[in-house]
Amino acid sequence: MRFLLVLILFLFTSGLFAQSVVSTQIHDIDMGQVDEQPLIFLASGQVVTYPNVDKLVFDRLKLAIKNKTWFIFKLNEAREIIDLKEIAPPPSMISEKNLVLDETPYTPSILKNIDVARSFFYDARITHKEESQCFNRAHVWTYEWRTKKNLYSSKIWLFFTRKFIRKYKFEWWFHVAPMVHVIVDGQVKERVMDIKYARGPLKQKNWTDIFMRDNADCPVVQNYSDHANYPESGSCFVMKSSMYYYQPVDLEQKEIMGFEKTKWQESEVRQAFLEAFDIKLGEEHE
């Protein structure tokens, strides 16, 4: 079992090495202390650096965050930016139409036993791509469970603090997976459905232990700012949301602007299928 967890952790933390080009936006920049290297948090989840550039470059990158600029980043094996180029948003992200499904009000389904949860887990679509982003995989899994099997699932978000990232030179700042509610021993329990990194439904602590190198307990927070405002506290935080939330920025907008996501956004679903599974939604699902 320990060998399996080590192997899973290796796959999780080393996957970026095979991918030298990333198309995404910049989520945030942490300039660090005087003796620390600035960290760039990509919207795709990776944590990268940009060595040998001056403060003016970082000022321009901070402006790009405000302008929601898309880039192609070329990265080396040390997760350093060796080149970047501003690009237009992917065509699949331009459409703002809603899919036909009207999902209000949202109430998670309750599965009658763990065997039913396992059946959803093992029937989930498997990607053959060497690299895909967790939020795209999770969006496809939850979307197909809803549209094909009428399952209203949830999502669980694991945020790694900047303290943890710097200490362990960790490659990611968040991870997300589907979550279901299931009756276990007569009580409704939550089980994480991380098809890529687990072999079946898991309790929350068993799931976070896959990724936490210090086996930290990750407290559950209600607001995104509980994570964002205290980046040096502890090692990790957990948030939970409905299946409609696509990226961490959605959690942030919910708190700041009161924007509650109650429907699938067509552009997000299309992008998730394309990035995670190389599927053009219109060709297979419409």
What CATH number is associated with residue 29? 2.40.50.50
In the block, residue with structure tokens 């959605």: 250
Series of mean pLDDT values for 10-residue runs along the chain (286 residues): 45 48 93 91 94 92 94 93 92 52 76 98 87 93 96 97 94 97 97 96 98 94 81 89 94 86 91 92 57
In the block, residue with structure tokens 């620390």: 36
Amino acid at 114: I
- Domain span holding position 41: 16-89
Sign of CA dihedral 140, 141, 146, 152: negative
25/68 Cα distance (integer angstroms): 7
**145 domain residue, yes or no:** yes
Residue 283: the pLDDT is: 56
Residues 196 and 68 in one domain: no
Residues 38 and 165 in one domain: no
In the block, residue with structure tokens 């086996």: 215
Q: What is the pLDDT of residues 231-247, one digit of tens each?
A: 777 999 999 999 999 99
285/208 Cα distance (integer angstroms): 33
Residues 253 and 279 in one domain: yes
Residues 70 and 110 in one domain: no
**40 domain residue, yes or no:** yes
Residue 17: the pLDDT is: 43
78/171 Cα distance (integer angstroms): 10
Question: Domain holding 131: CATH number?
Answer: 3.10.620
Residues 71 and 166 in one domain: no
Residues 66 and 153 in one domain: no
**1 domain residue, yes or no:** no
Number of domains the chain contains = 2
Residues 217 and 268 in one domain: yes
**36 domain residue, yes or no:** yes
Residues 243 and 275 in one domain: yes
Under 8 Å CB-to-CB from 245, ≥6 apart: which residues?
155, 251, 254, 261
In the block, residue with structure tokens 């899994």: 141
| DSSP letter, residue 118 | H
User: 131, 18 in Cβ contact below 8 A?
Assistant: yes
Residues 223 and 104 in one domain: yes
Residues 215 and 180 in one domain: yes
